Amino acid sequence: MGEFVDELQAIVGGDHVLTDPDMRRSHEVDWTRRYEGTSVAVVRPATTDEVAAVLRCCARAGVAVVAQGGNTGLVGGGVPRGAVPSIVLSMLRFSTLGPVDAEAMQVTVGAGVTMAGWRDHARAAGLDAPVDFAARDSATVGGAIATNAGGSRVLRFGTMRSQVVGVEAVLATGGVVGSLAGLPKETAGVHWPSLLAGSEGTLAVVTRARLRLVPRFDHTVTAFVAVGSVDDAVALLGILRRDVPSLDAAEVVLPAALELVVEHLGRAAPVTTPADGCCVMIDCADSADPTEQLTSALHRAGERGLVVDTAFATDATQRAGLLEFRDRITEAIATVSTAVGSPPLKLDVAVPVSALAELTATAHAAAADDGSQLIGFGHLAEGNLHLNFLDAGDPATIASAVLGRVAELGGTISAEHGIGVAKTPWLHLIRAAEDRAAQQALRAALDPAGILNPGVLAPELRAT
Ligand code: MLT
Ligand code: ZN
């Protein structure tokens, strides 16, 4: 590997090829600490040409490439694995923020720009980023494209896929594809943003992206509402979607998740939740004060017996305080998992909203059978639950029970985190053999040496 490392150093410079185990470590273990591996080196290119040269070099040497952004992934798709020699291709030096095009409502940014960086840049120009989630300060645009990330604003603006109006990406062969023109209309063959969003670093490495921007709403209001059941939460969602045009987020938090984050924050719970109920965190944003819109919708929901308890926040400080009860659940889970020395089993699933109650019941039953604790929360409008099983005795059995039922309910085994290596054993539940074979053929055509993230999305694929 000495010659190979020398070649990498000649491409990106000695300072940007990390071979020291201590320097590599934070890139080799994922956020959950469930997935880890060893790399030959962490390579930090700064230009598209450097990425192309690194990929060509890896293809020649038969070394796998794991592209990595902020390393906030939860399914083991962004860290090295297995016996295949690999490098981590850290994209963090692609940190350029282009000028905001206010008329087109677009901006071009480097793949290593964080989600918060994209948002703050847009806000400074009077606009906003349409995607937001808790890992915003570390997660990068490139990673969000690779996983087709979602977050809390999907009900209003869609997932990351809908925001990418252009990409520049490097194929495993070193060829550069895509366009950053951001044309809203164009029919000229393959639409690279569509192909690459959700491909988890298996088809190409995104270096830059042209992203959609949305209006910045300066008037916001947040409510935490306790309801009697998951079905009541879905009924409340129906009212909100119909009567509250400023609806920006509707997040669901099951009682154990609220209890955990309350304990973690050392604060009093914002609402009292019935044991069989749940909470809905509602965020509204508009160019005029949306308080009246939200309060009257909640009043109508109350008349239908859907509201058990409500906490309201209109000023920025109170709002930030309320949002913490949703945003910091993942951190609370990580804290208790670290304390018991067992990483949580994380399932990120979605079903039609009408099946959410059934999914919740299945997850509770799986936790009870295993003797683990279920911490559930997620994105109500997409029927997307993050089911975390703490101190799971038999993670594979829990996963099979829950993911099997999810598939029967017409859902997906990955809503926004990706398949990574964590979910490959269950991919067959939602993708037929012909579908998987077609995806592998596409992958082989674009990456003949099989170097891009082998083991992700298809466990049988390995670098040659
Ligand atoms: C979230 O919605 O907070 C994220 O998807 C992270 C998680 O599931 O833990
Ligand atoms: Zn989420």
**Residue 4 C-alpha to ligand 2 middle, in angstroms?**
39
What local confidence, expressed as pLDDT, does residue 462 receive?
Answer: 54
318 pLDDT above the threshold of 80: yes
Pocket test for ligand 1, best of 138, 347, 374, 417 (most atoms within 8 A of CB): 417
Among the CATH numbers 3.30.70.2740, 3.40.50.1860, 1.10.760.10, 1.20.1260.10, which is that of 330-429?
A: 3.30.70.2740
Stretch(es) of the chain classified as CATH 3.30.70.2740 = 330-429
Confidence of residue 84 (pLDDT cuts 50, 70, 90): confident
What local confidence, expressed as pLDDT, does residue 82 receive?
Answer: 75
Picking from 207, 211, 237, 212, the residue whose alpha carbon sits closest to that of residue 225 is 237
Q: Is the dihedral of CA 49, 52, 56, 61 positive or negative?
A: positive
Q: Cα separations (Å) of 368 from 34, 110, 373, 447?
A: 22, 45, 8, 44
Atom 8 (ligand 1) nearest CA:
386
**Residue 403 C-alpha to ligand 2 middle, in angstroms?**
17
Confidence of residue 459 (pLDDT cuts 50, 70, 90): confident
Atom 7 (ligand 1) nearest CA:
330
Share of the chain above pLDDT 70, in %: 99
Nearest atom within ligand 1 for CA of residue 134: 3
**Residue 459 C-alpha to ligand 1 middle, in angstroms?**
24
Atom 3 (ligand 1) nearest CA:
134
Ligand 1 neighbourhood includes 141 CB (under 6 angstroms): no
Q: In the structure encoding, which two tokens stand for residue 270, read together? A: 């914002």
> What is the topology classification, in CATH, of domain 106-215?
3.30.465
**Residue 413 C-alpha to ligand 2 middle, in angstroms?**
13
Residues 157-203 pLDDT 10s:
999 999 999 999 999 999 999 999 999 999 999 999 999 999 999 99
Ligand 1 neighbourhood includes 386 CB (under 6 angstroms): yes
Mean pLDDT for 12-16 is 98
In angstroms, the CA 187 to CA 211 distance is 19
In angstroms, the CA 177 to CA 407 distance is 35
In angstroms, the CA 415 to CA 291 distance is 31
Ligand 1 neighbourhood includes 134 CB (under 6 angstroms): yes
Stretch(es) of the chain classified as CATH 3.30.465.10 = 106-215
463 pLDDT above the threshold of 70: no
464 pLDDT above the threshold of 70: no
Stretch(es) of the chain classified as CATH 3.30.43.10 = 2-93
Nearest atom within ligand 1 for CA of residue 151: 2
What local confidence, expressed as pLDDT, does residue 312 receive?
Answer: 96
Residue 249 is classified by DSSP as E
Helix axes 2-12, 48-61, angle to 10 degrees: 170
**Residue 149 C-alpha to ligand 2 middle, in angstroms?**
8
Mean pLDDT for 412-419 is 98
Q: What is the mean pLDDT of the chain?
A: 97
Ligand nearest to the CA of 387: 1
**Residue 83 C-alpha to ligand 1 middle, in angstroms?**
30
Mean pLDDT for 328-332 is 97
Share of the chain above pLDDT 90, in %: 96
Residue 441 is classified by DSSP as H
Ligand 1 neighbourhood includes 330 CB (under 6 angstroms): yes
**Residue 386 C-alpha to ligand 1 middle, in angstroms?**
7
What local confidence, expressed as pLDDT, does residue 461 receive?
Answer: 56
Pocket test for ligand 1, best of 254, 377, 379 (most atoms within 8 A of CB): 377
Stretch(es) of the chain classified as CATH 3.30.70.2190 = 219-327
1 pLDDT above the threshold of 90: no
Per CATH, the architecture of 2-93 is what?
Answer: 2-Layer Sandwich (3.30)
Q: In the structure encoding, which two tokens stand for residue 109, read together? A: 């940014």
What local confidence, expressed as pLDDT, does residue 334 receive?
Answer: 95
Nearest atom within ligand 1 for CA of residue 251: 2
Residues 95-147 pLDDT 10s:
999 999 999 999 999 999 999 999 999 999 999 999 999 999 999 999 999 99
Ligand 1 neighbourhood includes 149 CB (under 6 angstroms): no
Phi, psi of 214 (to 5 degrees): -130, 170
Atom 6 (ligand 1) nearest CA:
330
Per CATH, the architecture of 219-327 is what?
Answer: 2-Layer Sandwich (3.30)
433 pLDDT above the threshold of 70: yes
Residues 32-46 pLDDT 10s:
889 999 999 999 999
